[in-house]
Amino acid sequence: MDAARRARLGTNESSHGDDVRAGLDAQGHITAFDFQQWSQSHSRGESGNSLAWRLVGGNPDWERLSGGPYPPSYEFPSKRMSGHFVEELFRSIYLRAPGRIQGNFAIESFLDEIAADQQADPVEFRRHYLKDAMALQVFDAAVQRARWQPRPLARSNARQSVVSGRGISFGEHGPEKRATIVADVQVDRTSGRVHVSKIVIATACGRIINPQGLRHQVQGAVLQGISRTLFEAVKFDRSHVTSLDWLSYPVLTFPDVPDIESVLIDQRDVEPSGAGELATVPVAAALCNAIFDATGVRLRQVPFTPERVKSALG
């Protein structure tokens, strides 16, 4: 059996796209995995990343791709991970975890899609390909704390006005940082509004020096990830940017803040590394997978605005 899907994450980082394909055997096991990422450079973006700037000698590291190619811990018999540079005419700038969120969104929603196609529980399907000890420790910690139950294939609540779902996403940021999120959401079919009720996140990023500071950093990154996934998008017309205030550029507000439960894994034998970007990486994919669990609809572009969700449901 062959599975081929195209996953594209639209964000404020322009010219970024991901294509993911996989080959499956007769038993539904992944035998080949192909990930292709197209991205502009993010190197020294704050000092100028335009073509003209580079032609006069600025930004000599322009060939550095924005977060790619993404290196997942999943092990498959055959795997190819490739990054492709996209030229930019105008200076671009990045937000937290450049490129990582897009890659994670593509891979994790794709794996979820294959699991559903094979009528497999999303957790057990992923666990089959996670061989890295650290990755499995973080993955299992989130699953156990969230009290994950195998997801039913038939959605008995599909006729209700407000439906509930649960999704999972594994993420990483560099060689020593892993995170897993389990997200619970409610989707209002009438309005298209998505409400995140709870997030369980497990993280490992080396030896913990300040547990309270780390917890705050993790929770802040999760909230930023939710804001980017559900609300944020730069809007513009043919002449200028039109999202100039907090009404035209909405962000997460207090009524939409979910309950966040953090599991901090202390790796005493591993040097501490930054936690500022790690926790935001798996957010978008976890919410996407939870929405699919609730509705059976797969979203492929953020933000998941009510208009976009309602259109997909229709």
pTM of the predicted model, to two decimals?
0.88
The parts of the chain modelled with pLDDT lower than 50 are: 1-14, 44-49, 59-63, 69
Q: Does domain 101-313 have CATH number 3.40.50.10470?
A: no
Write down the pLDDT at residue 6: 40
The DSSP code for 152 is P
- Return the structure tokens found at 87: 């030229």
Report pLDDT digits (tens) over 102-148: 889 999 999 999 999 999 999 999 999 998 899 999 999 999 999 99
Report pLDDT digits (tens) over 58-95: 544 444 555 554 557 899 999 988 877 776 655 556 67
Write down the pLDDT at residue 11: 35
Write down the pLDDT at residue 2: 45
In angstroms, the Cα distances linking 12 to 30, 102, 191, 241 are 32, 11, 25, 12
Look up tokens 């020294």; give the residue: 44
The DSSP code for 292 is H
- Give residue limits of the domains in the chain: 2-98, 101-313
List the one residue out of 46, 52, 3, 7 whose CA is nearest residue 28: 3
